[in-house]
Homo-oligomer: A and B are copies of this chain.
Amino acid sequence: MEQSPARSSSVTVADVAREAGVSKATAARVLGGYGTVSAKVRDAVKAAASALDYRPNELARSMTTGRSGTIGVVVGDIENPFFSLAVRGITDVARLAGFNVILSNSGEDVAAEKAAIRTLVAKRVDGLIVSPAKEGDVEHLKDIERSGRPLALLDRSARSLNVDTVIADDRHAAESVTRLLIAQGHRRIAYVTACDTADHVFRTPEDIYTDSVRRRIEGHLGACREASLEGVEQWVCVGANRPEATRQIVMGMFRSTERPTAIIASDSVIGLEVFRVTRELGLILPDDLSLVSFHDADWTSVTSPPVTVVQQPVYQLGEAAARLLVGRLKGETGEGRRVVLDTRLIERASVGPAPSPAS
């Protein structure tokens, strides 16, 4: 009982070394688990360390090694079940590989994304996983590349970046959805996305800066073209980035003379609000309207009727991105790899034949 071990000021290797009667370098070797020391000395140092309740200062360690054991993650919105599940996949893999995760929310805003990345790089994270808000605006991502830190893209690719990328097979998924609807006789199929354009009107997929969504819309439009549908672009609705906006959009569609007979929701948050609104409007699914949503969110299976969805391997998306990044961190080199995970259409009861054009 020399003194209370619980001192407020932190115990350093120097303290431990003194206590153990060895040099700072030797103490550092056993505490840091590198180099070689005799068993006797090691025990002495370990004893001293626990007696003093030594806690390594990772900050100092990172300073000299250049590695922080941390990976930075920037996503659009952690509150969105899509991202929280993906983040879970990331953190699980990261922890197993001995890395911590610093999480940042961009709110799908490029300026915030830029700031988040700047901070993360300043904190010297070892690598980053980003879900870029806008594919066109990725200069700040190139900065990461330049800084020598590995970067992996989650759910959204960026053509101008040669980095590891993990996405889902969005184009194919959207094609399947639209084909399904068309096969059921639907001709007026609305596609609702949170992405927005300058004038809140959709004209071509090039207007859409969020890569995953653009691919979906391309798939959707492709399937429409197959069926020789006309004027399909006007059925793509942008700007559903808050529940009220979604509500506005859906309400607007049903006030107009040409109502949609089917709606595709680009994510589950939108899908949920569409479901709510249609119910408020007294519409019966699938008789009055067919509904398909991206992301197999928990609620989609318990509604009446349950909602047909595109099941995305969200957790696996996160896992894969983390795995690629960890690989780089462990020294893998070479061109950016591109992983495309399969989606699956889960058909439930929210899709049915298009209502006869009696309206």
- Asked if B124 and A59 sit within 8 Å, CB to CB, the answer is yes
- Asked if B105 and A103 sit within 8 Å, CB to CB, the answer is no
Closest to A95 in B: B105
Interface residues of A in 249-285 (CB under 8 A from B): 272, 275-276, 279
User: Is A146 on the interface with B (CB-CB < 8 A)?
Assistant: yes
Interface residues of A in 83-111 (CB under 8 A from B): 84-85, 87-88, 91-92, 95, 100-105
Stretch at the interface among A32-40, A183-191, A225-233, A299-307: A299-307
Instruction: State the copy count for this chain.
Output: 2
User: Is A343 on the interface with B (CB-CB < 8 A)?
Assistant: no
- Asked if A146 and B8 sit within 8 Å, CB to CB, the answer is yes
Stretch at the interface among A12-20, A50-58, A159-167, A194-202: A50-58
User: Is A6 on the interface with B (CB-CB < 8 A)?
Assistant: yes
Q: Which of B59, B118, B275 contacts A68 (CB 8 A)?
A: B59
- Asked if B146 and A6 sit within 8 Å, CB to CB, the answer is yes
Q: Which of B58, B60, B105 contacts A88 (CB 8 A)?
A: B105
Q: Complex: how many Å from CA A279 to CA B301?
A: 11
Q: Complex: how many Å from CA A79 to CA B102?
A: 16
- Asked if A91 and B63 sit within 8 Å, CB to CB, the answer is no
- Asked if A56 and B122 sit within 8 Å, CB to CB, the answer is yes
Q: Complex: how many Å from CA A68 to CA B58?
A: 12
Q: Complex: how many Å from CA A10 to CA B123?
A: 13
Interface residues of A in 118-149 (CB under 8 A from B): 118-124, 146-148
Given contacts A84-B79, A88-B105, A304-B303, whether A8 and B148 have CB atoms under 8 Å apart is: yes
- Asked if A123 and B104 sit within 8 Å, CB to CB, the answer is no
CB neighbours (8 Å) of A301 from chain B are 276
CB neighbours (8 Å) of A180 from chain B are none
User: Is A81 on the interface with B (CB-CB < 8 A)?
Assistant: yes
Closest to A84 in B: B84
CB distance from A32 to the nearest CB of B (A): 12
User: Is A339 on the interface with B (CB-CB < 8 A)?
Assistant: no
Q: Complex: how many Å from CA A298 to CA B6?
A: 46
CB neighbours (8 Å) of A88 from chain B are 77-79, 105
- Asked if A276 and B299 sit within 8 Å, CB to CB, the answer is no
User: Is A23 on the interface with B (CB-CB < 8 A)?
Assistant: no
User: Is A234 on the interface with B (CB-CB < 8 A)?
Assistant: no
User: Is A204 on the interface with B (CB-CB < 8 A)?
Assistant: no
Most buried by B among A103, A146, A297: A103
Given contacts A58-B124, A68-B59, whether A85 and B79 have CB atoms under 8 Å apart is: yes
Given contacts A63-B63, A276-B301, A303-B302, whether A78 and B84 have CB atoms under 8 Å apart is: yes
Could you pull out 18 A-B pairs where Cβ atoms are within 8 angstroms? Answer: A8-B146, A10-B147, A55-B118, A58-B123, A59-B59, A59-B62, A59-B124, A79-B85, A87-B103, A91-B105, A100-B102, A101-B102, A102-B102, A272-B298, A276-B301, A276-B302, A299-B302, A299-B303
Question: Which 6 A-B residue pairs are closest in the complex by CB-CB distance?
Answer: A299-B299, A304-B304, A84-B84, A58-B122, A79-B88, A103-B103
